[in-house]
Structure 1
Amino acid sequence: MNIDHQKKVLLTGGRAPVTLELARLFAHAGQEVYVADSFSSQLTKASNGVKEAFTVHSPVQHFTSFIADLLKIVQERQIDLILPTCEEVFYVAKGKSVLEKYCNVFCPDLTYLLKLHQKYEFIKLVAEKGLLAPRSVFITSKEELPSAWEKIGEEAVLKPVFSRFGSHITFFDKTSIPKLNFPNGEYVVQKKISGQPICSYSVLLEGEIVAHTQYKVEFSAGNSAAIHFRHIEHSKIENWIRTFFDGEKVTGQFAFDFIETEKGEIFPLECNPRATSGVHLFAGRALPSSFLGEKRELLKPSLQTNRMIALAMLIYGWRNKGLWKWLKAMHQSKDVIWSWQDKKPFFYQFYSYIAMLKLSRTIRKSPLEATTFDIEWNGDDK
C-alpha cells in the first residue's frame, strides 16, 4: 500500500479502549480517522483525534444494513482502509468482497477467521502445526460429558466453542458431572492447564509479523479479561507464533491466550483474531505504519511498558493480587483512557459506562456480556 500521502482510516468498534488507542495513534501519525459502532455512546467519538463518528446497524441483528452503512461511509468519505477492532471483524470479513472493491480491509477472510475463533477448531489447527495443545473433546450435549471426561482423565474445563472474556467457563472433575447443568450446544471439554496466563498480540501483513507484544495476566475483570498490561520479552511465545503462522499469507490482528506451566511448556487456550489490549503497549507513530503497509523491522513496545484500564482496576483489580500489589500497579501504570492532549474521552467514559449498564439491564445480560452482544459471532450465520 502506498503511504506517501495522508490516508483516511475507518475504525470499527468505537466503543473499545483499544479503538481509542488506535485512533490516537493514527491521528498522531497524520492520518484522518473515522470511527463506527452500533453502540451510540461509543467511547472513541469523544476523541479529538477522530474527524467523524458514525452509529451503524448491529451486524448481529442487521448484517445487510451494517455492510450498507460501512459502504456508504467508505464511498462518501473516500476511506482508504477499514480496520476492524472488536468481534464485528467477523461480519466485516463476511462482507469483505463488497467492501474491498472500494478500499483495503485489514482482516483475513471469514473462513480463516472462524478456524481461529471456534475453540475446538483452533485446538485442532494447533495440533496440525505440530505444537502442544491441551487435550480436548468436542461435545454437543450433557449426555456426552461422562465419556468426554474419561478421555481427559483429570480436572477439566467446559466452555462453549464461541465465547469471550472467559465467560460461561466451568471447571469440573468426575464427581461434579451430575451437578452440571447447561443447555445443549457446541462445547469443548479441555484438560485444565495450571500455570501463568500470558496473552499475546500480533499484527500480520501478508504472513509477516510486523508488530508483536506479550504480557502476563495479573489483574483481570471476570475470569480472564486483563485490565493491566506490562510488556515482557518471551522468545518461546514469539517462536510459537512464527511456527503457527508459517506458510499462512494472512493479514490481520491476532491475539492468543497461553498458559506457561512450571516446566516452561507453552499451551494455547484460544485465539482472538482481532485487536486486544496489547495495542495499549505501543506508543508513538510506529504502529500505524504496520497497518498501512510500510516495511520495517519487527515493532515491539519498550520493555517494561505499563498500562492499565484505570476504571476497571478500581472496580476489579484490588480483588486479584492483594492491596499492596494493586496499589503498586496503580502507581506505576498509565491509564489507557487519560491523555493530556485528548482529555474528553476520560470524562466521557463514565457516561458511556452508565449507558452500557442501562443497556445490560434492558437486555438482561451482565455488563460484560452487554459490551459485545450486538457484535459478537456465536456461529450464527444470518
Structure 2
Amino acid sequence: MRIVLTGGRSPLALFFGQKLKQMGHEMYMLEHFSPTFANYTNIFTKIEVIAPPAQQFETFRKEVLSFIERNAIDLLLPINEETLYYGLLQEEIQHRGTSFLIGEQELLNTLHNKLTFITWCEAIGLLVPKSELYVAQAVDFSKQLVKPIYSRFGQSVFFSEEAITTIDSENYIVQEKIEGQQICLSLMLKNGQLISACAYDTNLGIENFASITYVPFEHPKLTQIIEILSQHLSQNGFFSFDFMFDGTTFYPIECNPRLTFGAVLDNERIIAGLLDTPVKEINKRITTSYGIKLLWLGKIITQKNWRKTYPTYLKTQDVLAEAFVWQTWLMLPWVLAQYFLKAKKQKLSITDFVVQDISYQVDKNEGTEGSDE
C-alpha cells in the first residue's frame, strides 16, 4: 500500500511511519518547510514540500491533489493541525480513491473552537466548566481563567488581571477554573465503529505546554463518557479530548479533532483500523507507558522532583527511540537550530514558528478556499 503522512516536523509522524514501513508499506511525506526530522530518516520514498495551507490554501489544495494522483496514494494520514485543512479537501481526496479517516468538517470546526466545544459537550449531556466569551468583563481569577479560543501547546492561558491587559478580547474565553488532574482521552472511529479508546495521564508533575508523558489511566466513569462521545461523533475520525478530573467529575475543557501523541499508546489497534486488518478487543487494558524521554529527563533534572516521576520514567518506552534512526539523532541539533534561527528571523517563539503555517482558525479560513492569500 502507498501511504502518505504529513507533518515530518513531528516525531509522531516518524513513529507511525516506522511502524507502517516495517509492515511493508511504501511511505511518502508531505511538508511545508525543510529541513524537518523526516529529511533525516530512511522511512520515506519521497518527501515533497508543498504550499502552507494557512497562507496559500488554494495552492496547497492543488499541490495535495496533484501529489495524490501522481503517486497513486492509497491512504492519507495527517499528523498535526494541518489535518483540518485536509478535512476541507476530504471529498476531493476520497473521490481520487485515497482513503482518509476524517470527521465531518462542520463537527471538526465545532470541536476545534474551545467555546463551541463546551456548548457541544453540554448539549450531549456532559458536565462542563462554565465558559463564556471574554468581552473585557471583570474576571475573578480565584475561580476563573482566560484562554484563547484557538491555541496550541496549552499556551497563553492567563491566571491574573495584569496578564490580560493587552489581549484581543474577542478571541478569548473566560472559563471556570477546575483544580485537579489533566486526563486525555483519544478515540478513533471508523464506519461508526469504535476502533480505539485510550485515556492517559500527561501530568506527572513536570509538564507544561505540550505533553511529554503518556501513562495509561483508568476510571469507571470514563467508560460512560466514551459511550456518550462515540454516539455523537462522526462515523469516522480521530478525536482527542482533554479533561480536568477533580477526583469526582471529568470536565471537558478542549478537543483536538485529529491524531495526537497519545495515539502511541494504542498504535497497534489504530494501524489495524487504518489498514482494515483484524482489530484487538477495545476493552483490552493498555499497560504500556510512553514518553519523550529526552525532554522528560531534562524536566526531572531541572525541576528536581525525580522521586515522583523517575520510577515511571524507568518503566516507560521512548517515543523517540522507536521513531528515530541514527541519522535522525545525529541531525537533531541541526534541525532544532534551524527552527530556532528561522523563528528568530520571523520574531516568533519556536513553538509558534512550527505551527504558524498549519494553524487552523475557522473564522479565518471559511473564506480562503478559493484564493491564495
Same fold (TM over 0.5): yes
User: Aligned residue for 2:44?
Assistant: 50
**SS of structure 2 residue aligned to 1:10:** strand
User: Aligned residue for 2:61?
Assistant: 67
User: Aligned residue for 1:364?
Assistant: 347
Tell me: CA distance 1:232–1:39, structure 2 relative to 1, closer, same or farther (3 Å). same
Identity %: 24
Give distance in 1, aligned partners of 2:19 and 2:3.
Answer: 11
Tell me: CA distance 1:281–1:254, structure 2 relative to 1, closer, same or farther (3 Å). same
User: Aligned residue for 2:289?
Assistant: 306
Give distance in 1, aligned partners of 2:346 and 2:320.
Answer: 27
Tell me: CA distance 1:316–1:353, structure 2 relative to 1, closer, same or farther (3 Å). farther
Paired residues of 1:165 and 1:222 also in contact (CA < 8 A): no
Matches for 1:11-50 after TM superposition, within 5 Å? 11-50=5-44
Mean Cα displacement is larger for which, 344-353 or 71-80?
344-353
Q: What are the superposed Cα offsets for residues 93-113 of structure 1, whole Å, 9 maximum, x if unpaired? A: 112222222112221232111
Give distance in 2, aligned partners of 1:43 and 1:120.
Answer: 34
Tell me: CA distance 1:330–1:91, structure 2 relative to 1, closer, same or farther (3 Å). same
Paired residues of 1:167 and 1:222 also in contact (CA < 8 A): no
- Structure 2 stretches lacking a partner, 5+ long: 369-373
Matches for 1:180-259 after TM superposition, within 5 Å? 180-219=165-204, 223-259=208-244
Query: Is it true that 1:110 corresponds to 2:98 in the alignment?
Result: no
Query: Is it true that 1:166 corresponds to 2:150 in the alignment?
Result: no
Paired residues of 1:282 and 1:301 also in contact (CA < 8 A): no
Q: 2:86 aligns with which of 72, 92, 108?
A: 92
TM-score, with normalisation over the residues of structure 2? Answer: 0.89
Tell me: CA distance 1:221–1:98, structure 2 relative to 1, closer, same or farther (3 Å). farther
Mean Cα displacement is larger for which, 125-134 or 305-314?
305-314
Tell me: CA distance 1:112–1:92, structure 2 relative to 1, closer, same or farther (3 Å). same
Tell me: CA distance 1:300–1:343, structure 2 relative to 1, closer, same or farther (3 Å). farther
**SS of structure 2 residue aligned to 1:82:** strand
Paired residues of 1:220 and 1:227 also in contact (CA < 8 A): no
Give distance in 2, aligned partners of 1:343 and 1:333.
Answer: 21
User: Aligned residue for 1:273?
Assistant: 257
Q: What are the superposed Cα offsets for residues 308-336 of structure 1, whole Å, 9 maximum, x if unpaired? A: 21332244454557133344344332321
| Matched pairs, number | 364
Query: Is it true that 1:157 corresponds to 2:145 in the alignment?
Result: yes
Q: What are the superposed Cα offsets for residues 215-247 of structure 1, whole Å, 9 maximum, x if unpaired? A: 112258874421011223334224212202314
User: Aligned residue for 2:337?
Assistant: 354
Tell me how far 1:207 sits from its aligned partner: 2.7
Give distance in 1, aligned partners of 2:282 and 2:331.
Answer: 31
Question: Which residue type is aligned with residue 170 of structure 1?
Answer: F
Question: Which residue type is aligned with residue 5 of structure 2?
Answer: L
Tell me how far 1:298 sits from its aligned partner: 4.1
- Structure 1 stretches lacking a partner, 5+ long: 1-6
Tell me how far 1:66 sits from its aligned partner: 1.3
Q: What are the superposed Cα offsets for residues 344-369 of structure 1, whole Å, 9 maximum, x if unpaired? A: 33333332222211122122121122
Give distance in 2, aligned partners of 1:277 and 1:74.
Answer: 25
Aligned residues: CA RMSD: 2.5
Give distance in 2, aligned partners of 1:52 and 1:242.
Answer: 40
Give distance in 1, aligned partners of 2:306 and 2:228.
Answer: 40
